[in-house]
Amino acid sequence: MRGSIRVAGPASPDQVWERYAVPERWPGWAPQISRVQASAPRIAPGVTGRVWAPLGLRVDFVVTEVDERLRTWAWSVRLGPLRLRLQHGVQADPAGSATWLRVHGPAPVVAAYLPVARLALHRLVHAPS
């Protein structure tokens, strides 16, 4: 299944991109992430790591694509046999910026994740710098 969302807010595209590009900043806007361990301080193809969710849930990831100029990136996450592919982008918007997400994976997982992701993306484009 494939799902997608788009959220706009007052943060500038550069601010939003930097919040994505530095994994240690993810817990500041993504309530589903309490901690991040990454093999590099900035996303780039091949960067691997783990995110911790509430209740100690751990999800492994690998960044598969990054285009700093276009402000897009993709990663694959794995929890046991479950795998998701997530594609992200940031663009200018009359509100300030907009961010979008496309998720590919098993239908029940994608359907459960999209509302959580919408909240996170709202925080991403609204958080003060």
Going along the chain from its start, the domains and CATH numbers come out as: 2-126 (3.30.530.20)
User: Angle formed by the axes of helices 13-21 and 107-126, to 10°?
Assistant: 130
What does the pLDDT profile of the chain (129 residues) look like in tens digits?
999 999 999 999 999 999 999 999 999 999 999 999 999 999 999 999 999 998 889 999 999 999 999 999 999 999 999 999 999 999 999 999 999 999 999 999 999 999 999 999 999 999 775
Neighbours of 115 (CB within 10 A): 10
Ordered strands of the 35-38 beta sheet: 2-9, 96-104, 82-93, 72-79, 58-67, 48-52, 35-38
Say which DSSP state 67 is in.
Answer: E
pTM listed for this prediction: 0.94
- Please give the biggest Cα pair distance in the chain: 41
